[in-house]
Chain A
Amino acid sequence: MTLPAISVTGLTKRFGDKTVVNRVTLSVERGEIAGFLGPNGSGKTTTIRMICGLLEPDGGEGRVLGHDIRSERRAINRKVGYMTQRFSFYEDLTIEENLRFVAGLYGMVPVGRIVRDTLADLGLTARRGQLAGDLSGGWKQRLALAACIMHRPDLLLLDEPTAGVDPKARREFWDEIHRLAADGMTVLVSTHYMDEAERCHRINYISFGHLVAQGTVEEVVRDAGLTTLVLTGTNTPQAARRLAGAPGVEQIAPFGNALHVVGRDAAALRASVERVARETGTRAAPADTSLEDVFIKLMNDGTAA
């Protein structure tokens, strides 16, 4: 039995006359880490909330862990862990009190031992009496994650979990996510960060409520059909000015002394870049298209649409 963990079709949500999520179809296999990407306000949070039953969809249907998202919300509630974008545990409760509260709500017994174990796993035993509101961003995030997985959910929904967290804490966070997935937990994680997207098994890109790309990172990059050339040399700023608006050139992005030039029309792009390279005395070389280049293109397409 390998039903997908999440399988929603035509999911639609409107707030007033604004359609925030428009016919999104999404499928996430069990044990998969699915990345959920898109610019701010693209409908990621709304989609996640519909998946875990916090919002009633205006259209479409779906099943989460085999349960209908409309009629079996309570069953989904118990099997899903949802980590909200903003820290939403109680800041006026201590770490331990927060965990005890969560353990109590999920009816876990014995509460004392489970909370003690969780505190030990977190390395927070010594600070268990500290108010959650006094924790730093990184620790809040760890506490929130620990509280969300305490009841061993089958599906973990993470809404921009690493916003405002330092790189080391982010690395540790992702290691933990991979450990959980290896144990069979399905994870859907929304993010803005490219390096995090690349750590997902599959990614889904949503723009203005529409799902516009999905697949593995390689598939998404390939499907975008972009060509990338890199210009190096001392005169790259001038090259950048000359390339702006040239035929075939869609994106110009400086990376240190190098200039990444991206476009869909490979022939036109090559012609423009080689001309500018000659004029400015820089060297042009083909390069792999990065996921970021693809996202910028998807975002621009979204705005144009």
Chain B
Amino acid sequence: MSGRFLSLARLWALLTKETIQMRRDRLTFGMMLGIPLLQLMLFGFAINTDPKELPAALVAPTQDRFTRAMVSALELTGYYRFVAPDATAAEAEAMITRGDVAFVVTVPSDFGRRVARGEAPTILIEADATDPSVASGAVSTLGTVAAEALLRESGGEAAAEDEAARRLSVIVHRRYNPEGITQYNIVPGLLGVILQLTMVMMTAMALTRETERGTMENLLSMPATPLEIMLGKVVPYLAVGAVQVVVVLVAARTLFSIPFVGSLPLLLVGVLVFVLALVILGYLISTVARTQMQAMQLTFFFFLPSLMLSGFMFPFRGMPGWAQTLGEIFPLTHFLRLIRAVMLKGADAATVAGPMAALGLFVLLLSGAALLRFRRTLD
């Protein structure tokens, strides 16, 4: 049986050949399975967007009980760790400039006196805000913590509760991730990032390798259709992607205890469409690149902006409108929405129809472009 565009015998021959080559290239093969694990471990454990126990210096000329109450209240938030509890203003200034401390807390000498007299006391907290995300968590908790600690110290529990009751009460539910664990956000995202890097790069190199080694000339002179060549290149990498998915999902569960509240089949469908888009993108790159080096460069040219603008590293909503629009052109953006919704929020198929459709659209557009770009000749 040999069809006009697709013959199973020819496809089988191509798949066999591709699989053997992949298996024989031990380093690459090892990288395809080792890199995901390595990256997952490294980034999964290392990245923390809500840093705690940041070093702080305390400048307090009169260390009375009010000062101590302040300090211990700050330490209790978990954000501050006073490494220099008795610094002078000059020392503290030098430390924050060098980066030894992230905060300088200054309690003026008349602090205790003003509290005792019932006047409005002030303290100064200087934060090293060169990296805004470092300071934000620590600073945001400050106001209430300081006020309550002081009230408790001067007027006792009852007064503190009275004070709290009089105020407007705002109830905040941190849903899907009540403890604000960064890994809940990072690890599912890492699945997308790992798949993106390995799938796009490996496929981009696969066809370029044929061109570079001169085997393309031979392949083109034999009766294989562009569709068969594309499928022959893409399908083995789908299998590799499947293995990576299993590895990451199992690790997410066992190592990071990431909750999985949604439907696994739904997630797998999403992953399949995403991986398909990636391998076809890789294939498209390999129809443009002449050498493996070029293929690699093109992959990174695509990889970096998609990492930055997809919402993996920085909040998507935090970007200006044009950047969000730009972010929409990366499959990773849609995949992140999908996997976070399904894994953490338990979204159903109807809820993730948007990102799913977007990924499907990528597959269609990219495979059309790849088949058009494919050179049947050496021109």
Contacts and interface: CB of A to CB of B under 8 A. Distances in A.
Contacts of A87: 214
A88 B214 contact: yes
Contacts, number: 81
A226 interface: no
A88 B218 contact: yes
Interface string A59-84: 00000000000000110011010101
Given A77-B223, A92-B25, A104-B13, A84 B218 contact: yes
A44 B175 CA distance: 71
Given A53-B377, A92-B25, A93-B20, A80 B214 contact: no
Q: Residue among B7, B9, B221 with the most chain A CB within 10 A?
A: B221
A82 B219 CA distance: 10
B162 interface: no
Interface in B2-16: 2, 7, 9-10, 12-14, 16
B71 to A, nearest CB: 66
A141 to B, nearest CB: 14
Contacts of A88: 213-218
Interface in A78-100: 78, 80, 82, 84, 86-93, 97, 100
B219 to A, nearest CB: 8
B377 A55 contact: yes
Interface residues of B, number: 28
Grouping DSSP codes into helix (H, G, I), strand (E, B) and loop, the B interface class, with mixed when no group exceeds half, is helix
A104 B9 contact: yes
A55 B379 CA distance: 6
Q: Residue among A49, A84, A92, A103 with the most chain B CB within 10 A?
A: A92
Given A92-B21, A104-B12, A105-B13, A84 B214 contact: yes
A56 B378 CA distance: 8
B13 A90 contact: no
Range of interface residues on A (Cβ < 8 Å): 20 to 34
A107 interface: yes
Given A82-B221, A84-B217, A89-B215, A101 B17 contact: yes
A54 B216 CA distance: 10
B32 to A, nearest CB: 16
Contacts of A73: 376
Contacts of B218: 82, 84, 88-89
B222 A106 contact: yes
Grouping DSSP codes into helix (H, G, I), strand (E, B) and loop, the A interface class, with mixed when no group exceeds half, is loop
B223 A78 contact: yes
B285 to A, nearest CB: 22
Contacts of B221: 52-54, 77, 80, 82, 84
A78 B223 CA distance: 6
Given A104-B16, A105-B13, A105-B223, A90 B377 contact: no
A180 interface: no
A56 B379 contact: yes
Interface of B: 2, 7, 9-10, 12-14, 16-17, 20-21, 24-25, 213-218, 220-224, 376-379
Q: What are the nearest 9 A-B pairs in CB distance?
A: A104-B13, A88-B218, A82-B221, A88-B214, A101-B17, A77-B223, A105-B222, A86-B214, A88-B215
20 contacts: A49-B217, A53-B221, A55-B378, A56-B379, A78-B223, A88-B215, A89-B215, A89-B218, A91-B213, A92-B20, A93-B20, A93-B21, A101-B13, A102-B222, A104-B14, A104-B16, A105-B10, A105-B224, A107-B7, A107-B223
